[in-house]
């Protein structure tokens, strides 16, 4: 039997909210309840979006929830070497090509949008004989995009079940390295998942659409595919997903209000099919947790739920 390795992968781009707490608890319960390990990774590669001090805050949030992890935490920003090596490998295999387009040029040329993402129309595929030629002609450095073949991928999710995705139609050739040299999120995720030996990825359903891109990168790099579990997300009374930028129901705020973390854990447990008392520690919910008992619908966290935490 292979070892089970789950992961917590917060991004320190703002305060974590109740939706993150639920996903992290589910990931932790799913791995730990089956004797698995849990590793921690800080997804801080996007320097423009990382907030100073947010990593410390995230660590405090995880500890407040009663979650622990095995081995040293990995900060993506401090482990770029393997990402650069992966880019070099993709270049060598001819899986990626240089793209000189600015964000504005792409937005103008591609009105087709999926989930707020603009589809890249393949403008630079075969456009120049070499990256140096393009740089000379346009006077700017290129990023790199994975050349995606058209067609539907049939994939499997441990929670959602089978699903299909057509990356070429949905987002087109996608970036693995930006024009400023920054490495793309999708690349970092697959390389670091492999480096940390992650065998399962449990996260919010809002990330389901990025799975196919990650699957493709894993194929190109010869990396194993972890099992995915895309779980329902937490929404407000109006059905909108909680969002960092709106400052929704943050754990910092709950801590400041002196809410007992065990009350929040109990709410998550009960909304996840665990028969739990009003207050329960993360570890105490392990025994009653089963992923297949988690309801398939999104969970509402509104004024009533907030007040009930005390």
Query: Which residue is associated with the tokens 């996007």?
Result: 46
Query: Which residue is associated with the tokens 């009350």?
Result: 263
Neighbours of 283 (CB within 10 A): 14
Instruction: Kindly state the smallest distance separating residue 103's Cβ from Zn ion, in Å.
Output: 11
Q: 67 is written with which tokens?
A: 């979650």
99 vs 188, which CB is nearer to Zn ion?
99
Contact flag: residue 124 with Zn ion (CB under 5 A)? yes
Instruction: Kindly state the smallest distance separating residue 124's Cβ from Zn ion, in Å.
Output: 3
Length of the chain: 310
Choose which of 87, 101, 212, 280 interacts with Zn ion (CB under 5 A): 101
Instruction: Kindly state the smallest distance separating residue 147's Cβ from Zn ion, in Å.
Output: 12
Q: Which residues in 4-33 contact Zn ion (CB under 5 A)?
A: none
Choose which of 99, 184, 282, 309 interacts with Zn ion (CB under 5 A): 99
How far is Cα 31 from Cα 3, in angstroms, rounded to an integer? 10
Contact flag: residue 123 with Zn ion (CB under 5 A)? yes
How far is Cα 252 from Cα 105, in angstroms, rounded to an integer? 40
Candidates 116-124, 186-194, 264-272, 278-286: pick the segment binding Zn ion (CB under 5 A): 116-124
15 vs 99, which CB is nearer to Zn ion?
99
Instruction: Kindly state the smallest distance separating residue 100's Cβ from Zn ion, in Å.
Output: 5
Report how many residues bind Zn ion under the rule CB under 5 A. Answer: 4
54 vs 99, which CB is nearer to Zn ion?
99
15 vs 124, which CB is nearer to Zn ion?
124
141 vs 300, which CB is nearer to Zn ion?
141
Candidates 15-23, 46-54, 95-103, 263-271: pick the segment binding Zn ion (CB under 5 A): 95-103
Instruction: Kindly state the smallest distance separating residue 113's Cβ from Zn ion, in Å.
Output: 17
Contact flag: residue 146 with Zn ion (CB under 5 A)? no
| CB distance 174 to 120 below 8 Å | yes
71 vs 181, which CB is nearer to Zn ion?
181
CA dist 132 to 98, 142, 299, Å? Answer: 10, 9, 51
99 vs 269, which CB is nearer to Zn ion?
99
Contact flag: residue 109 with Zn ion (CB under 5 A)? no
| Chain residues that interact with Zn ion, rule: CB under 5 A | 99, 101, 123-124
């Amino acid at each position: 039997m292979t070892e089970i390795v789950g992961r917590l992968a917060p991004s320190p781009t703002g305060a974590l909210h109740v939706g993150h707490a639920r996903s992290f608890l589910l990931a932790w319960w799913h791995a730990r309840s089956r004797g698995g390990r849990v590793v921690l990774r800080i997804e801080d590669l996007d320097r423009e979006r990382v907030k100073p001090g947010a990593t410390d805050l995230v660590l405090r949030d995880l500890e407040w929830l009663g979650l622990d992890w095995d081995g040293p935490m990995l900060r993506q920003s401090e482990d770029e070497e393997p990402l650069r090596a992966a880019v070099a490998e993709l270049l060598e295999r001819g899986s990626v090509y240089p793209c000189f387009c600015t964000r504005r040029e792409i937005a103008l040329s591609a009105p087709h949008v999926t989930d707020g993402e603009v589809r890249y129309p393949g403008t630079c595929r075969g456009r120049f004989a070499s990256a140096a030629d393009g740089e000379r002609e346009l006077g700017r450095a290129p990023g790199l995009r994975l050349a995606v073949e058209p067609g539907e991928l049939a994939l499997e999710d441990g929670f959602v079940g089978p699903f299909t995705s057509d990356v070429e139609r949905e987002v087109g050739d996608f970036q693995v390295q930006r024009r400023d040299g920054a490495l793309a999120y999708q690349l970092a995720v697959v390389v670091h998942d492999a480096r940390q030996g992650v065998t399962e990825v449990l996260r919010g359903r809002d990330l389901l659409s990025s799975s196919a891109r990650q699957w493709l990168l894993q194929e190109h790099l010869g990396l194993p595919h972890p099992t995915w579990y895309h779980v329902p997300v937490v929404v407000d009374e109006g059905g909108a997903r909680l969002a960092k930028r709106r400052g929704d129901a943050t754990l910092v705020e709950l801590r400041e209000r002196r809410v007992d973390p065990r009350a929040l854990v109990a709410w998550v447990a009960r909304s996840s099919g665990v028969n739990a008392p009003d207050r329960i520690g993360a570890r105490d919910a392990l025994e009653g947790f089963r992923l297949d008992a988690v309801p398939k619908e999104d969970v509402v966290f509104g004024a009533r739920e907030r007040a009930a935490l005390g």
